[in-house]
A and B are shown apart, each in its own frame.
Chain A
Amino acid sequence: MATGTIKIRAQMTGDSTEVKALFKHDMETGLRKDKTTGEKIPAMFIKEVTCEHNGKAVFVAKWNVSISKDPYLSFKFKGAAKGDTVKISWVDSKGDTDSSTAQVA
């Protein structure tokens, strides 16, 4: 299990909360070749990102290999209050996972 791969910021403007997240992940496409051996590097990428607000899933992103390395994701939702918890977790194609939480500011 990976740790410390997610950075989250949740900022409230009016009644809308903007969540921004940065992930640390190689997002291998499976098309790249190792320059020394000439062998293909197998695909390894984040498949699914789940965002929860106070324990309830509000936003689910399903990704392909074509999301950039060290992915960025942002979305906005209504109904949050300052101090609420936003939790983001990911699962990659190898079954590795990580999750992190942040407070709405």
Chain B
Amino acid sequence: MIIKRRTFLKGTVATGALTVAVGSGFIKPGSVMAAWPEEAFTQKATADAMSKLFGSASTTESGEIDLKTPDIAENGAVVPVSVTTSLAGVQSISIFIDKNPQPLACSCELTPGVEGYVSTRIKMGETSNVIAVVKTAKGLFSTKRMVKVTIGGCGG
């Protein structure tokens, strides 16, 4: 099973065909073998990364997404972030860091039984907006927060 999956992933990264299919929403998130969206992850601008990931860069600001981050992160290498949303029918939760070399940090696919909550820790190169984007059947919703970084955490 694991070996099959590996060869599958390698194959799709090479062709990129499935990456496009996932981005345009033909394949349901959470289906067993969705490819890692390489194009979205390697984009250098937030809007481009959103376009590659969702097929659109326009999101609606929503008060129903609660993005928790520290106001000031002393160490940019470890910034705790959690996203909680009360929106119904959440398909995915993604986190973008506007000024990072590659803005898209993570994209989490949720199946129907999963609550609208994700918590993780991210690296931030410099003071920047952190943007949480929640994808539901009704479209894309976002909220953002400015996080001040004292020491950057991207290396260099």
Contacts and interface: CB of A to CB of B under 8 A. Distances in A.
B109 A78 contact: no
Contact of B108 (A33, A59, A69): A59
Interface residues of A, number: 34
Q: How large is the interface on B (under 10, 10 to 19, 20 to 34, 35 or more residues)?
A: 35 or more
Main DSSP-derived SS at the B contact region? mixed
Contacts of B63: none
A7 to B, nearest CB: 15
A93 B115 CA distance: 28
Interface string A45-67: 00110000100011111111111
Contact of B106 (A16, A31, A62, A76): A62
A97 interface: yes
B114 A58 contact: yes
A73 interface: yes
Nearest to A28: B155
Contact of A29 (B80, B110, B123): B123
A65 to B, nearest CB: 7
A44 B156 CA distance: 15
B54 interface: no
Contacts of A66: 97, 100, 102, 104-106, 122-124, 154
Contacts of A97: 2
B136 interface: no
Given A66-B97, A72-B120, 6 more contacts: A31-B156, A59-B110, A60-B109, A67-B105, A77-B111, A97-B2
